Amino acid sequence: MDSIAVWNVRGLNQPLKQNEVRILMSENKLAVCAILESHVDIMKLDKVCKGVFRNWSWTSNGSLCDRGTRIILGWNADDVDVMVLSQTDQVIHVQLRYKVCMKVLFCSFVYAKNNYQDRRGLWDNLCKHKGLCHDKPWVVMGDFNSSLHHEDSICGSSTQTISMREFYDCVQATELVDIMGHGLHFTWNQKPKEGIGLMKKIDRVMGNMKFLETCPDAFAIYHTFRVSDHTPCILKMGKSTKAKPKPFKFANFITSKPEFRSSVEQEWGKRLGGWLCIRSLTNSRI
């Protein structure tokens, strides 16, 4: 089963969190794993990523970030080829090609900024990227730092905020929908202060209609909280099988009809224009 994970761990420098990521990779048999809000200094990326991903390949948007790397992407090169198409400090766009079935998937890994005004650049970027992916299977997953619907928040505002409206407008423009999910609904929790806490769904796995047509059995799992205030999000797409060529079939009882042979000879005996190799075939008899 092809599995892709995205997880806001908030700091990947700690050995405990590195070990939790490795456990997540192993338990879910991941082919691709994106770590968000890593806070890893670009000078330490190589050491940290080798410790976490071991023999996997990896990349990041560290060179575009002001304070520590925001998105680290690792993948098992034995299972999948990854081509980075473009990236900003809030998103990495890639093309995934699975080696067994040669399936191609476009995927965008998001870690949106905290301020809704800063997220406008992300929404604009996703809308532009839709022009490339509109007729191809496309998945967008990560931490959007904004709820989308009123039911995505506990103890939050009962009215639609500017942040929610702009996120909603982006989702409508890109024609993305939530992939069927299992597990926790609220993906982020704020530690209670004076007995009052806050829970929101700000991490999502979404896909376009082409993805839903290509992977009708796909679903997302939102795991329980581990060493982060965000839940790990796992996309599972079902087993990959190569499409087998369909054999030529016709009703065998037709051959028992008296007029069958004469009808076939009549059709095959017709003279057709074309190359010599084609004409020689038309002169064949059964």
- Residue-wise pLDDT tens digits, 39-51: 999 999 999 999 9
Q: Is 264 helix (H, G, I), strand (E, B) or coil?
A: helix
Phi-psi sector, 82: left (phi>0), alpha (psi -120 to 50), beta: beta
Residue 119 CB-density burial (10 A; 0-12 exposed, 13-18 middle, 19+ buried): buried
Which of 26-30, 190-194, 219-223 is predicted least confidently? 190-194
pLDDT, residue 264, reads 79
pLDDT, residue 160, reads 85
> What does DSSP say about strands 32-40 and 3-8: parallel, antiparallel, or unpaired?
parallel
Q: Do 105 and 137 contact (CB within 8 A), yes or no?
A: yes
Task: Report pLDDT digits (tens) over 157-169.
Answer: 667 899 999 999 9
Percent of the chain at pLDDT > 70 equals 86
Q: How confident is the model at residue 275 (pLDDT cuts 50, 70, 90)?
A: low
| CATH code at 3-236 | 3.60.10.10
Q: How confident is the model at residue 277 (pLDDT cuts 50, 70, 90)?
A: very low
First to last CA, the chain: 48
Continuous segment of H or E residues that includes residue 133: helix 120-133
What's the chain's length in residues?
Answer: 286
Q: How confident is the model at residue 283 (pLDDT cuts 50, 70, 90)?
A: very low
Q: Do 73 and 59 contact (CB within 8 A), yes or no?
A: yes
Dihedral angle of Cα 99, 103, 104, 110, to the nearest 10 degrees? -90
List, in sequence order, every residue forming a beta bridge with 57; answer none if it has no partner: 75
Q: How confident is the model at residue 193 (pLDDT cuts 50, 70, 90)?
A: low
> Using alpha carbons only, what angle is made at residue 221 by residues 7 and 184, rounded to the nearest 5 degrees?
85
pLDDT winner (highest mean) among 3-7, 239-243, 256-260: 3-7
Whether residue 65 is predicted with pLDDT greater than 60 in this model: the reply is yes
Question: What single letter denotes the amino acid at residue 155?
Answer: C
pLDDT, residue 237, reads 86
pLDDT, residue 252, reads 72
pLDDT, residue 224, reads 87
Letter string b/e over residues 80-103, b meaning 16 or more CB atoms within 10 A of that residue's CB: bebeeeebebbbbbbbbebeeeeb
Whether residue 226 is predicted with pLDDT greater than 60 in this model: the reply is yes
Percent of the chain at pLDDT > 90 equals 70
Is pTM, for the whole model, over 0.85?
no
pLDDT, residue 278, reads 43
More confident residue, 155 or 116: 116
List, in sequence order, every residue forming a beta bridge with 141; answer none if it has no partner: 109, 205
Q: Do 190 and 197 contact (CB within 8 A), yes or no?
A: yes
**Domain range list for the chain:** 3-236, 252-282
Which of 46-50, 58-62, 160-164, 242-246 is predicted least confidently? 242-246
